[in-house]
Amino acid sequence: MALNNGGPSPWGNPRPGGPWGSPPPTPPGGGSRGPGPDLDDLIRQAQDAVRRVIPSGGGVAGGRGLAILGLIVVALWAASGFYRVQPDEEGVVLRFGAFNRTAAPGLNYHIPWPVERVETPRVTTENLVFIGFRSGDTAPARAPLGRDVVEESLMLTGDENIIDIDFVVRWRIRDAGDFLFNTRNPESTLKSAAESMMREVIGRTPIQPALTEARGQIEDQVRAGTQAIMDQYRAGIAITQVQLQKVDPPAAVIEAFRDVQRAAADRERQRNEAEAYRNDIIPRARGEAERMIQEAQGFRDSQEVRARGEAQRFTSVLNAYSSAPDITRRRIYLETMEDVLRRNPKVIVDDQLQGLVPFLNLGDPARQGQRPAAAAAAPVLNSTRPPAGAAR
């Protein structure tokens, strides 16, 4: 069924074949008359397909076939609304292009296209944003091996030094609706916010703490500040961690800074050794001083008690002497002689012997055992005989 049947075109063109001129001649043996399929052939194939679906006979039978075909088309269209949300995804249903609702993981249904459509972003996957370097490998252990981006990594510290910082921001989708529709490019926005916050934190931090003990504090401050910015934008992003991969001085002066760090480490080590020595010697000296004080107090107390005892003894002797002077003098004399003889060795001399006079030690056996054996057995040469009645 040719269009216009080769007659005059509706645009007033008397040439056969319409305003585009005459059609090319049909090649021998039939077939298509051009490089593409003929419109008549396409229409004829569509009519044949409809005749195969709708039984011939016209009238009621034809109308019933059209109804069955319509029901099949409607059923297929309605069945196209079923969709599945994976466990690591969240379904976001759009109605005429606007956000309508979210869907939980599992089998769900929405009004088929063109009324509604579904986006299924992954909300549990942890994503990485590299700042200061680029790496094709997402593993954090190998990330610092990538290409360094100097315009992102060089920052100015609080004491006006330059520092080279590479870090990674770990994030995931917290609200799929906000993530898809509130920002045009959430990942780029997150990268810009994290870099800006890092520059702000480093601008308040001196270079020495940034290189050593303040790394954890810097990570926490950058994470909290970037999260606040993304919440203000309602980007639907949750930042789980900020990791500093490299914190170094610029390459031109890195060796000098390392020498300074080694000197600081030596200073800290020597300080710790001095603290340990002080903590050891000071308690020991305090203990020794306390011991000496206690000994002195003990000696003072003993001397005071002894002096009081001696005074009381003297007072009692004085009272006894006042009552009986003769008896008291004799008792004092006997006690004194007893004490003197107890502390000194006793020697008895036999006046009947001539020449050699042996000693007979009658002292304390314990004190006798302490004397040297040669002294105990030493003889005394008496060249003269003592007179009778000599003191023994």
Sheet strands (E) in the chain: 82-85, 91-95, 98-103, 106-109, 116-119, 127-131, 133-134, 147-148, 154-156, 162-173, 237-248, 355-357, 380-382
pLDDT at residue 56, as a whole number = 55
Number of domains in the chain: 5
Residues 6 or more apart whose Cβ sits within 8 Å of residue 53? 65, 69
> pTM of the prediction?
0.47
Residues 6 or more apart from 176 whose CB is under 8 A from it?
A: 90, 92, 102, 119, 121, 123, 236
Kindly state whether residues 143 and 245 are assigned to the same domain: yes
CA atoms lying within 13 Å on the CB side of residue 186:
26
Average pLDDT over residues 349-374: 56
* 266 and 335 housed in the same domain: yes
Q: Is the pLDDT of residue 20 over 80?
A: no
Please, are residues 189 and 235 in contact by the beta-carbon 8 Å criterion?
yes
Q: Is residue 327 part of a domain?
A: yes
Q: Is residue 277 very low, low, confident or very high in pLDDT (cuts 50, 70, 90)?
A: very high
Q: What is the pLDDT of residues 135-173, one digit of tens each?
A: 755 444 444 456 778 888 889 888 888 888 999 999 998
Residues 75, 139, single domain; the answer is no
Give domain status of residue 18, yes or no.
no
The alpha-carbon radius of gyration of the chain (Å, integer) is 59
Residue 114 lies in a domain: yes
Higher pLDDT among residues 377 and 343, named by residue: 343
> β-pairing, 106-109 with 91-95?
unpaired
Say if residue 30's pLDDT is above 70: no
Query: pLDDT by residue (tens digit) across 298-325?
Result: 999 999 999 999 999 889 888 888 888 8
13: which 2 tokens? 């063109």
Q: Quote the domain boundaries for residue 363.
A: 345-382
Say which residue, 35 or 174, is predicted with more confidence. Answer: 174
Does position 120 have pLDDT exceeding 80, yes or no? no
Could you tell me if 139 and 230 lie in one domain?
Answer: yes
CA nearest 200: which of 218, 214, 187?
218
Distance, CA of 243 to CA of 141 (rounded, Å): 11
pLDDT tier at 279 (50, 70, 90 boundaries)?
Answer: very high
Question: Across residues 51-74, what is the average pLDDT?
Answer: 67
**87-95: average pLDDT:** 73
